[in-house]
Amino acid sequence: MRAQPIFSLVARARPNRSGDSVATRECLPSSEWSKRGLSHQGPVLDLARAPKIACLRLTPPRRPATPTLLSLFVAAVPSHRRLWCSREANRCFSTSTPFSSTKAVPLQSITSSTTLTLRANMSTATTTTVAEPITAETILRLFPDIDTRSDALEGHDEEQIRLMDEVCIVTDENDLPIGTASKKLCHLMTNIDKGLLHRAFSVFLFNDKNELLLQQRATEKITFPDMWTNTCCSHPLNLANETGSTLPDAIAGVKNAARRKLDHELGIKQEQVPFEDFRFLTRIHYKAPSDGKWGEHEIDYILFIKANPEVNANLNEVQATQWVSAEKLKEMFKDPSLKFTPWFKLICESMLFEWWASLDNGLEKYTDEQEIRRML
């Protein structure tokens, strides 16, 4: 009896709060697929009614920064051999190329509606076979990078663990994007010691008195907890409006990321910090351990902005804020009871106070620097 040709698509979501990684393999008719859509249960598409071309439309969740599709498994089996089977984590088929074992691109999060077109000649398909099943026992061996609930994160705050799933932009030493990796992977010292480098930004927000807004990082933070630092420090993510290979595109991306994180960390609404008001100064390349397990290795974009926003800090991110003058900040550095993040100290010890003095007159000569400042 001639069996129906089947493509199997399995979507694996990140582990849920109880630590369970959800993944299943099941065959559904095309009609049932259209009813259910993409879900954490990983629906499977039966291509029997469309043996040559099938288009799957994938729509992101309400929080586009959350990686929803961490890996894609597609298999088609003709009568005599397996046509193609991929078990590589974090890969899927390109939307612009025919179905092929040589045409695959990374996809770690869906940030806009995406149509995947899978093409194959199914004329010889007579049977289907089952590759190694994806179970609770095999999933971490087949896809080791999807689990952030390892011993390295045990005992940390649940929300901060969740944020470790965010997908950062991996670069070479010249700030050229060369890949993506989770926030967790980017901040493990074992990877940093091997040279893993990612893109970041540091915002310095000044009010109309030219006072700088500082934040003290929350105790719950996994890296550099309880330390004082500049207004906002974070990462552009692998999102359409935060990536960029050229410097102008990268600057635009970090400005978008800065507005997102100012809201997330400090409750500063985006309309209070317009995109066009951010001034890009330079990039610094630095490396710093947090403890024996975690650290930073970043190309850090320095952004200045003047605004008088309302601040409503997210206490899971920020435990305190303070507006300071240049003189007040210098006094704070003399207080041995206060701890500061390494990147903030590097910036303060090099150029911050010179930039600060030119905030209203002459800052232009410091902006849009093309070279990366190495502070290693």
List residues with catalytic annotation: 233, 298
| Contacts of residue 282, Cβ cutoff 8 Å, sequence gap at least 6 | 302, 351, 366, 369, 371, 372, 373
Encoded tokens for 151: 């011993």
Place of tokens 């041995």: 336
Question: What's the CA gap between 270 and 87, in Å, rounded?
Answer: 41
Encoded tokens for 144: 């080791």
Q: Are strands 198-206 and 232-234 parallel, antiparallel or unpaired?
A: antiparallel
Question: What's the CA gap between 205 and 324, in Å, rounded?
Answer: 11
Which stretch of DSSP H or E encloses residue 184? helix 183-187
Comparing CA positions, the residue from 139, 159, 146, 157 lying closest to residue 14 is 146
| Dihedral of alpha carbons 234, 237, 239, 241, sign | positive
